[in-house]
Amino acid sequence: MMIPFAQDTPVVGEELAEEKTLSIIDLMFSGGPGGTIIILILAVLLFLAIYIYFERIFAIKAASKTDKNFMNQIKDSVTSGNIESAKMRCAQENSPVARLTQKGISRIGMPLEDINTAIENAGRLEVYKLEKNVSVLATIAGAAPMIGFLGTVIGMVIAFHELASSSGQAEMGSLAEGIYTAMTTTVAGLIVGIIAYIGYNHVVVRTDKVVHQMEATAVDFLDLLNEPS
């Protein structure tokens, strides 16, 4: 009598494992229309946050580039009375530091208080340019988790509605849509919020470094004007 080999029988565990396997995309969009809409909103916010982050990083990097000998050249020109040469050097540098210096050079001959005020006003404009759209990044960092939690509430409402409409006899398949919506939107919202928050803080740190550089340059320029001739 022949006994069949064990490998001829189907492996039920492997089949069930294959049936239960879900890709990340399937998992994200398995929460029904409400969950799908929220996931799409979070995807747009993620794209916007990444775009703003890299756009600001490149802009700040360009703004922080300044020739190490810039102030020495300005000092030599101003000391020798060659104001036009100093202005041309500032125009060639084309950076926030150079624009602040150029604003101060254009006020030479006026009281130091007026020069200081002009530099401060120009500095505020430069800081405003550096911080362009950074507030949007902060808003995304705070709003994304809240949108995710909104999906959680919607998902739980769907799940409890299924239970209520079926007098507590709802099938697990009917509850799955609400549970998927609750879980996936929460995870997605937290991920987008964390990415935006880290990006925001990094941009703020890089911006502060440029602002400090501008302040140091303004102090050096005012000290130059205070030096006895």
- Residue 168: predicted pLDDT: 54
Half-sphere CA count of 82, side-chain side, radius 13 A: 11
Chain segment 60-104, per-residue pLDDT in tens? 988 888 777 888 888 888 888 788 888 888 888 878 888 888 888
Q: Quick one: pLDDT band at residue 47, thresholds 50, 70, 90?
A: very high
Q: What angle separates helix 172-226 from helix 112-130, to the nearest 10 degrees?
A: 160
Round to whole Å and give the CA distance between 211 and 130: 9
Q: Where does the chain have alpha helices with state H?
A: 12-20, 24-28, 32-63, 70-79, 83-93, 96-106, 112-130, 134-165, 172-226
- Residue 3: predicted pLDDT: 46
Chain segment 105-155, per-residue pLDDT in tens? 888 878 888 888 888 888 888 888 888 889 999 999 999 999 988 877 777
| pLDDT value at 2 more than 50 | no
| pLDDT value at 53 more than 90 | yes
Lowest mean pLDDT across 9-13, 119-123, 134-138, 163-167: 9-13
- Residue 169: predicted pLDDT: 60
